[in-house]
Structure 1
């Protein structure tokens, strides 16, 4: 323990984050996986692991790298500029976007291949301001100046890969649609945050691209702001997405089949200012989980919806335990959360005012669910919501973390570690924390 602490102190004195330490506030081992400042793990629902679970893809300023979770060796996989999407559930290859194509790279050999050409008709036009921002970023990172071909990497919206890697799913601009502007529910003008984009009523389309044939097919048209696209980890035909915007404006979480059938609203709201979001699939693909507040900033749950039966289960959390994002272990027995910053809903009253004494919790959390009593629930009754509570364990002290960068925790395939990203030592890096306490 003393050696680890001295190593952490020495690293801090040289402005390099420690490579490994025992968090003194929690007793859990934390490991820095990345070497380069600016490295980041993927968004919490984007799968990053190889097929054997040994390697993990992540982003660096210069492109895509991977780390061997056993040896901790880091290797460059694809030089930038590229956008890492996820790894495939079947091959474990890293899927990424480059120049209007979805490509894949093998994490062992680093060989690359073209998967599909994305349909140009669904790409949104890139503004001159956005092009100029990209030019400045390219100059900072030593990348070549953006060419017309390179700019085809932008304007695609969400892109996901289905479970057997036979289909690419995307959200794009609907070339045949017209804007349908709208006003907030109270009739006011949309100001700040997500409201103006929500109010634009921009036409969007959810589409699929068959990998074998390259055929693109629109499956859902909408003037709602479609976002947060995911494919089931097990069912190649199941898609999850959201209606984005201020959460109290929208009926957010939806599922749909890949042929456009089965459009289902996952959570109907019943309370004014009730919000739900940051939805994700359980690892077995049978449940959709999401942050639920009934109403916002007052009562906190992680809510679950069983796709096949429509059954619901809600786990209660305290205010301090609320997290920007949650995730679930591969065996479905544990959950994790990444806490929240001082500007989060956990630190606000029902009237959206910050508490005088902060109420948010800045920790990486482990949650052990406990189901509630079933005495009032008939075995065949799917109309009543089953309930339970989370028992929380703190894993990593994030008091020095700036939540402008969301930590985005995800369990490793063996369930023994939780990977997250953090700027708690300054620049962003990729870390993992051991689920079991250090001996």
Structure 2
């Protein structure tokens, strides 16, 4: 596999001079491969199939070996899951469901992808394409899964009430429902599902808006969740050991220390030792990527400039580099020139930033959600600068 990937990258390098140098998104369609005129980095469209195609949310792992799972929305039955081989760019369809599906949960351990159709959870094996049922939610507990643990024994998620679902139904835009749900203080319940025994276990219920549920990348019993809401009003980032789960065992990872401080869009490091997050002291003024040790609560932070702030950040597999997806002037940083895919190198207490892709033709209502490729040599993101949502990779 490594030899194949090296060969692919070598071909890209050798043929780079033959690729057109273009302003990204200035023409529709773009070629399959081009060199960004602003940054001189090679950009490749990964999803060369009709219709709109989307890569995963920033903290959801999409990779099994050298394949990336993505979803396509060109089916009459809603989105379906596919894989793309990052070496050959060959695509394969994983699911052929006849009803709309939700979820983007990949287990690299078992080469499986989990998803949900109405009240039923399914799993499809990426190698064999075999699909089977996993769990059906009981009538009084219609919930959704969002994460799988490191040894692929548990799924987890948060249950919301019908009253909350009604707020979402009547206020579909985030700027409409966000404050309403936070202020409603409706109960939410964290839960896990044992994949083997098919048993649901409630962890605890709270009037906090429990959300952003993620299992540790390495510790099969450590679950992270957040108190959702306006970030300057909440101590957001929490963990719990699901073996001893009740509200009293939840542990706050970061406590705000000043008025209007915010911390959020948290994710686990590849080794599971650190939770990283977007940290602003205070909101919209001073920008950092912060990290907290999950055992000692020791913190570190890297400063970045206003234009370098990103909606989402991520870290490379070797944990030496970071990346960000930028943001437009309407967002929290109010950045006048922030519409870039960024590569960040830690230097002391700050990031050294490099621009990888000019995103000025991208509508940031669609968040790009960056991922490092498994070999750490590419940044994968989604964008709509060709008119439809597609997944792309830019060479570091």
TM-score, reference length from structure 2? 0.86
User: Could you give the per-residue CA deviations for residues 106-153 of structure 1, whole angstroms, max 9, x where no partner exists?
Assistant: 223221122333344321xxxxxxxxxxxxxxxxxxxxxxxxxxxxxx
Deviation at 1:95, TM superposition (A): 1.4
Q: Tell me what 1:392 maps to.
A: 353
Rg larger for:
1
Alignment of 1:371-390 (within 5 A): 371=348, 388-390=349-351
Whole-Å Cα distance in 2 between the matches of residues 221 and 162 of structure 1? Answer: 21
Whole-Å Cα distance in 1 between the matches of residues 223 and 68 of structure 2? Answer: 24
1:16 to 29, 40, 58: 29
2:46 to 33, 54, 73: 33
Q: Tell me what 2:6 maps to.
A: none
Q: Tell me what 1:188 maps to.
A: none
Deviation at 1:300, TM superposition (A): 0.3
User: 1:254 touches 1:263 (CA, 8 Å); kept in 2?
Assistant: yes
1:229 to 213, 221, 237: 213
Q: Tell me what 2:134 maps to.
A: 115
Whole-Å Cα distance in 1 between the matches of residues 306 and 233 of structure 2? Answer: 22
Whole-Å Cα distance in 1 between the matches of residues 96 and 343 of structure 2? Answer: 35
1:49 aligns with 2:63: yes
Query: What is the DSSP-based 3-state SS (H/G/I as helix, E as strand, rest coil) of the residue aligned with 1:431?
Result: strand
- Counting strand residues as a fraction of each chain, which structure ranks higher? 2
1:408 to 369, 374, 379: 369
Give the aligned length.
Answer: 361
Alignment of 1:277-426 (within 5 A): 277-347=264-334, 359-371=336-348, 388-426=349-387
Whole-Å Cα distance in 1 between the matches of residues 138 and 225 of structure 2? Answer: 20
Deviation at 1:193, TM superposition (A): 5.3
Structure 1 residue runs without a partner (length 5+):
124-155, 179-190, 348-357, 372-387
Alignment of 1:21-170 (within 5 A): 21-34=34-47, 35-50=49-64, 53-61=65-73, 62=75, 63-80=80-97, 81-123=100-142, 156-170=143-157
Whole-Å Cα distance in 1 between the matches of residues 115 and 144 of structure 2? Answer: 13
Q: Tell me what 1:153 maps to.
A: none
Whole-Å Cα distance in 1 between the matches of residues 267 and 136 of structure 2? Answer: 27
- Name segments (4+ residues, structure 1) moved above 3 Å: none
Query: What is the DSSP-based 3-state SS (H/G/I as helix, E as strand, rest coil) of the residue aligned with 2:140?
Result: helix
Query: What is the DSSP-based 3-state SS (H/G/I as helix, E as strand, rest coil) of the residue aligned with 2:239?
Result: strand
Deviation at 1:275, TM superposition (A): 0.7
Whole-Å Cα distance in 2 between the matches of residues 295 and 323 of structure 1? Answer: 16
Whole-Å Cα distance in 1 between the matches of residues 62 and 221 of structure 2? Answer: 21
Q: Tell me what 1:5 maps to.
A: 20
Query: What is the DSSP-based 3-state SS (H/G/I as helix, E as strand, rest coil) of the residue aligned with 2:155?
Result: strand
Whole-Å Cα distance in 2 between the matches of residues 84 and 110 of structure 1? Answer: 17
Structure 2 residue runs without a partner (length 5+):
1-15, 165-174
User: 2:116 touches 2:144 (CA, 8 Å); kept in 1?
Assistant: no
Deviation at 1:229, TM superposition (A): 0.9
User: Could you give the per-residue CA deviations for residues 288-309 of structure 1, whole angstroms, max 9, x where no partner exists?
Assistant: 0000100000000000000122
Query: What is the DSSP-based 3-state SS (H/G/I as helix, E as strand, rest coil) of the residue aligned with 1:195?
Result: helix
